Amino acid sequence: MKLADLDIIVTAPPPPGWGGRYWILVKVTTDTGVTGWGEVYAAAVGPDTMRAVIRDVFERHMEGDSPENVERMFRRAYSSGFTQRPDPTVMGAFSGLEIACWDVLGKDRGRPVWALIGGRMTDRIRAYSYLYPMAHHPLPEFWGSADMAAEAALDLVGRGYTAVKFDPAGPYTMRGGHQPSLYDVETSAAFFKAIREAVGPKADLLFGTHGQFSTAGAIRLAKTIETYNPLWFEEPVPPDNVDSMAAVARATSIPVATGERLTTKAEFGAVLRAGAAGILQPALGRSGGIWETKKIAALAEASNALMAPHLYAGPVEWAANVHFAASIPNILMAETIETPYHDALIKGGIRVEDGFIAPPEGPGLGIEVDEDLARANPWAGNGLHLQMQEEPISYAGVNLFEGGAPVGKST
């Protein structure tokens, strides 16, 4: 059985677009007719350019080889062009294609992916979700309202969730780390107070920032929210500054989490060696694929660190996250996004039930991708999956972070 053909679909979730402006799905087919699906979470370049990168990685490093040879194909892609170092674009392309290889292997053998990568350690994976606006919440006001956030948190807890994530501390910018404004500090404290009072001990609170603070700014903010006992402070400083993140980790009692923007064991290993984080959040469509992320989990296990796979993408990456999570001993929880489009695109193949996810029993990823639906919603804009803000934050008022795909700005 050899990898023989590749198709790429860039699909756009309908507004408001939780999960990003578009998702890059890959479909590989073997010379025996078995198909496998993967998802690429890498978008430093536009979708048309990314299509070319994915196709180049497939044709150069994978086509004609067995889908079993994920280690060899990884080494080719990782070393391509005399690099042998993490490259988020190339490794993102490979990650989605590697996930598709596992889907092929599972279907060919009639077994779920988790059974091929060590078996099932966990029968029910704890899920968490970002606080998204409910139907009656106005936008963009929701993003700055502690009361609305508390209402959304209560809704999630009512559906069985035991952890909720929110980010009221302002947007990320291309300028690197900054000091938070006092407005953003006070807004963050107000969110913690309102949500903690609403849910009590029923849910862990996850502070979901995006690398936007300076070292001192992150520590200052951490000191303000420590009293509410958050489970984690996510990516408090820019992800390329491991020493700075380690300084934040040493200065606060809040566990630091990171990994959404990291790729391969090389980058995650550096985080662990520096003591910069005790919770790792790989996005499997970027981190190197399922096999490479299993290695990252092993490094974390040796450091007594936990795994919480990240999701700001579509349901195919989520399916890969679920199989990965089921197979490791040090899983903490897995991020989820529940929208009608996420569910329809995989025909309800995996769902959150009472705040937990049951690993699917079907072959491969255990999902059926609705290819017609994906193609019926093509991406037609010119923006990137996520975009950095160019302007600096304001120190004269609250800075709203309007989620990953702000309404009316998905161009």
Task: Kindly write down the DSSP assignment for every residue of 304-347, as one continuous string.
Answer: T-EE-----S-HHHHHHHHHHHHT-TTB--EEE---HHHHHHTT
Per DSSP, 144 falls in state: G
406 or 390, which is more confident? 390
Q: What is the pLDDT of residues 128-151, one digit of tens each?
A: 999 999 999 999 999 999 999 999
Strands 125-130 and 334-336: parallel
**What is the pLDDT at residue 383?**
87
Tokens 């990568």, residue located: 117
Round to the nearest angstrom and report the end-to-end CA distance of the chain.
42
Residue of 379, 386, 330, 322 lying closest to 349 (CA atoms)? 322
Q: Where in the chain are the domains?
A: 3-110, 116-364
Q: What is the pLDDT of residues 68-79, one digit of tens each?
A: 999 999 999 999
- d(CA 25, CA 23) in angstroms, rounded, equals 6
Mean pLDDT of 21-31: 97
Fold topology of 116-364: TIM Barrel (3.20.20)
- d(CA 187, CA 48) in angstroms, rounded, equals 39
Q: What is the DSSP string of 222-243?
A: HHHHGGG--SEEE--S-TT-HH
Q: How many CB atoms lie within 10 A of CB 387?
A: 17
**What is the pLDDT at residue 406?**
57
Q: How many CB atoms lie within 10 A of CB 263?
A: 29
Preceding omega of 140 cis (within 30 degrees of 0): yes
Residue 42 pLDDT > 60, yes or no?
yes
Chain CA centroid to CA 85, Å = 21
**What is the pLDDT at residue 103?**
99
**What is the pLDDT at residue 163?**
98
Residue of 4, 5, 12, 27 lying closest to 96 (CA atoms)? 27
Tokens 């490093």, residue located: 61
Query: What is the average pLDDT value for the chain, to the nearest integer?
Result: 96
With cut-offs at 50, 70 and 90, classify the pLDDT of residue 387. Answer: confident
CA dihedral 206, 212, 215, 219 (to 10 degrees): -30
- d(CA 225, CA 220) in angstroms, rounded, equals 9
**What is the pLDDT at residue 404?**
65
Per DSSP, 254 falls in state: S
Q: How many CB atoms lie within 10 A of CB 285?
A: 32
Mean pLDDT of 350-357: 98
Contact between residue 285 and residue 263 where contact means Cβ atoms under 8 Å apart: no
Preceding omega of 16 cis (within 30 degrees of 0): yes
* Number of helices followed by number of strands (H, E) in the chain: 13, 13
Q: Which CATH number fits the domain 3-110, given the four candidates 2.60.40.1180, 3.40.605.10, 3.40.50.620, 3.30.390.10?
A: 3.30.390.10
For residue 128, give the 3-state DSSP assignment: strand
**What is the pLDDT at residue 408?**
53
With cut-offs at 50, 70 and 90, classify the pLDDT of residue 388. Answer: confident
pTM over 0.85? The answer is yes
Contacts of 287 by beta carbon, 8 Å cutoff, 6+ apart: 91, 95, 259, 262, 263, 264, 268, 293, 296
Residue of 25, 98, 118, 115 lying closest to 289 (CA atoms)? 98
